[in-house]
Amino acid sequence: MRIASILHRTTLALLLVAGGFDAALAQSGYYQQPGYRDPRAYPPGYYPGKLVQPAQPQQGFSLRRFFGAQEEPPPPARAPVSRPRRSTPPPAAVAKQEKPKVNPSTHVVVFGDALASYARQGLDAHFSDDQDVAVVSKVRSDTNLVRSDPADWPNFIKATLDGGQKTSIAVLMLGTNDRQSIRDVEESVEPLSDRWKELYRQRIDAITGVLKERKIPFVWIGLPPMKNSKISDDLVAMNEIYKESVQRNGGVYVDIWPGFVDEDNRYTDIGPDVDGDPTKLRTNEGVFFTRAGARKVAFFADTEIKRVLGLGSTATATAPAQIAPADGSAAPTIEAAVPPPPDAAAPVALPQKPLVGPVLPLTRQDVAPGGTLVSAPPKLTGDNAYTVQRALRVGIAPSSRPGRADDFRWPNP
């Protein structure tokens, strides 16, 4: 019996080596046991009661490969079941659609360099809801007044106006890159020297002179303070040149410096916006503006623009037309229907004060009511005579009374 068991196990091992583990189990009757469900009867990746992913073939040691037996290819992987996803509509666009302005009657043309582009941006936002005002950009960010031809900017403005550009008012902002030497014939003039200021003023006059000649109202926006204190000091002197030239040629100078400094008149990048809320107005390098800063520049300029063009003035109400009666008589007026005001009360006459009073000599003798001179010293009589005589003649002060202010006794009884 023991020998049969050994032979059975040996046969099972040989079958395992030669035909594989599955064949050995099938020959041994393992799959015929009661209650056993053969997994080979189901599709790959499925077992009764659940779905599982099929096992991936391992590239390790194999008995079949060791004895040269041909391995069965792995079953094909079952495609994963994809469930339909619920489609969601794309989010609605929240960007504000700007309506094109059709035939605006007012054209604000902005000339200038890099800083002028921020002024134009602020004016665009400021007049975005006003369909009657159009902001036109004529900005050249890479130009200045000191390195280019002195006639460059005047010729550019003339070409713009002659090219058919409608201009109700011109807004200028220049000077960001002008802290450089000016070439005067064969000499290089140092920035902010007296000669430099004279040459620079001539170039500003050439620009403002073109607008004055064309009779176009213009607003010149001054430069703001910078983060570098040395640059800010130079810009103060340049703003004085702009202001003098602009006002001399009939323009309006807008000083935006107070809107970008603190209480000590020093540069600050944070301050109140157009709504009064504290926010960041300048960019990190301390030269340009944020969107809120650009709106604030436009707020300063808008006040003068509306004043020059008369956009903010209220119309004077006209009196309604009076209808004449049919018989040709004069129409009654409102003044005739209103009773006249009462006569003003006559002012009460006040007694006049004399300019000079009676003369009173300072050395006159006082007299009694009976006319006798009061020249003799008063006679001391009664209980007070002794005390007065001691105090005035002898110099002995009278004794203090208890509770009086001159009672200095100690301890106080």
Task: Give yes or no for residue 367 having a pLDDT over 70.
Answer: no
Helix crossing, 114-126 with 291-309: angle to 10°?
70
Confidence band of 396 (pLDDT split at 50, 70, 90): confident
Rounded to 10°, the helix 194-213/152-162 angle is 10
pLDDT bin (cut points 50, 70, 90) of residue 377 is low
d(CA 39, CA 44): 9
Residue 206 has pLDDT above 60, yes or no: yes
> Could you give the residue ranges of the DSSP H alpha helices within 52-138?
63-67, 114-126
Is pLDDT of 211 > 70?
Answer: yes
Burial label, 174 (beta-carbon count in 10 A; 0-12, 13-18, 19+):
buried
Q: What is the pLDDT of residues 289-322, one digit of tens each?
A: 999 999 999 999 998 998 888 865 433 333 344 4
Return the closest-CA partner of residue 285 out of 300, 267, 265, 261: 267
The pLDDT, as a whole number, for residue 292 is 95
Lowest mean pLDDT, pick from 112-121, 200-209, 225-234, 344-353 = 344-353
Mean pLDDT of the 344-353 span: 70
Look at residue 250 in the predicted model and tell me its pLDDT: 94
Place 182 in a pLDDT band, splitting at 50, 70 and 90.
very high
* pLDDT 10s digits, 7-50: 667 765 665 555 555 555 555 565 565 555 555 555 555 555 54
pTM: predicted TM-score of the whole model, two decimal places: 0.54
Q: What is the pLDDT of residue 129?
A: 87
CA 91 from centre of chain: 30
Which letter does DSSP use for residue 15 in this model?
H
User: Which residues is 136 bridged to in the sheet?
Assistant: 109
Q: Which residues of 79-102 are buried (b: 16+ CB within 10 A; e: fewer)?
A: eeeeeeeeeeeeeeeeeeeeeeee
- Residue 205: is its pLDDT beyond 90? yes
| Pick from 36-50, 102-116, 182-196, 389-403: least confident | 36-50
Which residues lie below 8 Å from residue 402, measured CB to CB, with a gap of 6+?
413
Is pLDDT above 50 for 116?
yes
Query: Percentage of residues in the chain with pLDDT exceeding 90?
Result: 40
**Domains defined along the chain, listed by start:** 1-33 (no CATH), 106-309 (3.40.50.1110)
Q: Please say if the pLDDT value at position 76 is more than 90.
A: no
Residue 366: pLDDT band with limits 50, 70, 90: low
